[in-house]
C-alpha cells in the first residue's frame, strides 16, 4: 500500500478515486505515566513513555486506514493526514485519514 501526504503520486496515474478512509483509536492515559510525565515536565526532557504510546497509536491507526483502503480495492492512499483530539480530559482520539485510490505506474 502506497501512502502519501501529496494529492498526486510521482510516476503513477490515478485511475479511480474510491473515497475517504480512516483508522481510529481512542486511548486512555495511564495514571502512572501521567504522574511521571508531570514530574518530568517540571525538569524538562523527553517523555519517553508518552512518545512510545503515541508512536504505537499512530502505527495502529495507519494500519487500520490501510486495511479499510484494501477492503475498497485501493492500492494507495493520497492526501494522508493525522488528527488528534482530547476527549473528556482522560482520553485521546488519534485518527489517520486520506483518500483511497487505484493507481497505476506510468511507463516511461
Per the structure, the count of domains in the chain is 1
Segment 98-107, tens digit of pLDDT: 999 999 999 8
Would the pTM of this model clear 0.75, i.e. be above it?
yes
The domain spanning residue 59 has which CATH number?
3.30.110.70
What is d(CA 63, CA 2) in angstroms, rounded to the nearest whole number? 12
> pLDDT-based confidence at 40, cuts 50/70/90?
low
Structural domain including 22 reads 2-105
SS3 2: strand
| 37: enclosing H helix or E strand | helix 31-43
Sign of CA dihedral 76, 22, 24, 6: positive
pLDDT at 94 over 90: yes
Helix, strand, coil proportions of the chain in percent (round to 5)? 35, 45, 20
**Which of the pair, 37 or 58, is modelled with greater confidence?**
58
What is the per-residue pLDDT for 27?
A: 85
- Binning pLDDT at 50, 70 and 90, where does residue 80 land? very high
Amino acid at each position: 500500500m502506497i501512502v502519501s501526504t501529496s494529492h498526486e503520486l510521482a510516476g503513477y496515474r490515478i485511475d479511480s478515486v474510491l473515497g475517504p478512509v480512516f483508522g481510529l483509536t481512542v486511548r486512555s492515559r495511564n495514571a502512572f505515566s501521567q504522574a511521571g510525565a508531570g514530574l518530568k515536565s517540571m525538569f524538562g526532557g523527553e517523555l519517553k513513555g508518552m512518545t512510545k504510546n503515541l508512536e504505537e497509536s499512530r502505527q495502529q491507526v495507519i494500519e487500520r486506514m490501510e486495511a479499510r483502503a484494501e477492503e475498497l480495492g485501493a492500492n494507495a492512499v493520497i492526501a494522508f493526514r493525522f488528527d488528534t483530539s482530547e476527549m473528556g480530559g482522560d482520553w485521546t482520539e488519534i485518527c489517520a485519514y486520506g483518500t483511497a485510490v487505484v493507481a497505476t505506474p506510468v511507463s516511461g
